[in-house]
Amino acid sequence: MPVVLDWTRTAGAGEPVPCVICGKPAICRSPSGKPVHKVCAETWTEQRNTNGRQAVE
């Protein structure tokens, strides 16, 4: 089942800077303030859950 993160209350936006996962410009900020595309974060989380690891913010 795909991971869907809800950032509606905790995420932010800013100037375009490189995504910490793919390196392409991102205006989204994770709840912890890191520049990342939501889809990149969801894919990253799903891959870790599939590998039996705990998801990390």
pLDDT digits (tens, 9 = 90+) for 28-50: 888 888 899 989 999 998 888 87
Degrees, nearest 5: CA angle 51-33-35: 70
Question: Which contacts of 8-15 are long-range, i.e. CB under 8 A and separated by 24 or more positions?
Answer: 11/38
pLDDT at 19: 96
In terms of pTM, does the model score above 0.75?
no
Using an 8 Å Cβ cutoff, are 15 and 35 in contact?
no
pLDDT at 24: 97
Whether pLDDT at 57 is above 80: no
Mean pLDDT of 50-56: 59
pLDDT at 6: 80
- What does the alpha-carbon distance between residue 33 and residue 25 come to, in Å, rounded to a whole number? 15
The domain ranges of the chain are 1-57
The residue among 7 and 43 whose pLDDT is bigger is: 43
